[in-house]
Amino acid sequence: MRKALKNFKGQALVRPDVRREYEGLKEEFEILDEILKARAEAGFTGLDHYGPSG
């Protein structure tokens, strides 16, 4: 994660309402991480969705 994003995240999570919402999404973030890891291991990229250009 880039430093600027880490700083923003750290500052945002100081707010109780933001932290509560973020933590409420923890399971979804974990699922997304697993999907992205599996795609990377299989050699897929975001470009796979678009097919040949032109």
What confidence tens digit (pLDDT) does each residue in 4-54 have?
Answer: 989 999 999 999 999 999 999 999 999 999 999 999 899 887 666 665 555
- The model's pTM is 0.56
How confident is the model at residue 53, as a pLDDT?
A: 58
How confident is the model at residue 2, as a pLDDT?
A: 80
Domain boundaries, the chain: 12-44
Where does residue 13 rank: exposed (0-12), middle (13-18), buried (19+ CB within 10 A)? middle
CA distance 29 to 6: 16
- Concatenated DSSP letters of 1-51: --HHHHHHHHHHTTSHHHHHHHHHTHHHHHHHHHHHHHHHHHT--GGGGT-
